Amino acid sequence: MWGTHRHHRCKTQPVAVLPALAFALPTSQCATDRVRRFGFAAVPVVLALALQACAPAQECLPETPALRHMDEEPVSFTLPDGRHRQVQAWIADEPAERQAGFQYLCPQTITERPMWFEFGRPVRVGFHMHNVHAALDIAFIGVDGRIAEIRRMDTETTGGPGRTYFPAGAIRAALEAEAGWFAARGITPGTGAQRMGVRAGP
């Protein structure tokens, strides 16, 4: 899950009409905050995610609105020994998609394929595990298109503030997968990682 923003339980409010929209939508204060943050172009996905955040934390879902909105594309790896691997991944390249990540999804869904977070420029962002139902490994992909480090991110066991995982330096992308996914495929730091059709490097 990308970013340091944390979900708060929502107090549901009566049906309201959001400004500049021509239809009524069920909303809440935290839903309104998310729409303002991402802009009205992303209203359908963001509002669904915001209302979803009001559900009990223990629930998991086989699919979320954000996951349905994501494309699936191949990601290629060039291992240090020269071997190549290619896998299908969900692509989180829009703000609302990166905000959602694997949140609320059941472990069975998380095991289906990894999720690629595309930023399009060098950034240094933190990832947290709030509302994620399975441990993850995350590969931080540097500006040179190689995996700089792979970190284990454990599930949160309390409702309080959890840990935020930051890369050591700037990254262009990150890849999240179920815990042990990278090791099982021999993917280590130094491995080239590229979303097909997107040029690696500065």
8 Å CB contact between 167 and 140:
yes
Determine the average pLDDT of the residues in 96-111. Answer: 97
Q: What does the alpha-carbon distance between residue 144 and residue 157 come to, in Å, rounded to a whole number? A: 36
* pLDDT of the residue at 29: 41
pTM above 0.85, yes or no: no
Which range, of 52-56, 84-88, 132-136, 159-163, averages the lowest pLDDT? 52-56
Distance CA 192, CA 169 (A): 17
* pLDDT greater at residue 6 or residue 52: 52
Could you give the angle at which helices 43-52 and 29-38 cross, rounded to 10 degrees? 150
Q: What average pLDDT score do residues 131-145 get?
A: 97
Answer with the residue of higher pLDDT: 50 or 127.
127
Element (H, E) at 37: helix 29-38
Using only C-alpha atoms, what is the Rg of the chain?
17
Displacement of CA 74 from its chain's centroid (Å): 17
Count other Cβ atoms within 10 Å, centred on residue 85.
14
Task: Categorize the per-residue pLDDT at 94 as very low, low, confident or very high, splitting at 50, 70 and 90.
Answer: very high
Q: Which two tokens stand for residue 6?
A: 């944390």
- Would the pLDDT of 141 be above 90? yes
Q: What is the pLDDT of residue 159?
A: 61
Distance, in Å, from the CA atom of 161 to the CA atom of 59, rounded to the nearest integer, reads: 19
Confidence label for 124 from pLDDT (cuts 50, 70 and 90): very high
- Specify the higher pLDDT residue, 56 or 13: 56
Domains of the chain with CATH codes: 65-195 (2.60.120.1140)
Q: Which of 104, 96, 102 is nearest to 55 (CA)?
A: 104
pLDDT tens per residue, range 20-77: 323 233 334 444 344 333 444 444 444 444 444 444 456 899 999 999 999 999 999 9
3-state secondary structure of 44: helix
Closest CA to 195 of 95, 110, 113, 77: 77
3-class state of residue 97 by DSSP: helix
182 has a pLDDT exceeding 70: yes
- pLDDT value at position 162? 81
Residues in Cβ contact with 7 at an 8 Å cutoff, skipping those fewer than 6 apart: 30, 53, 103, 130, 131
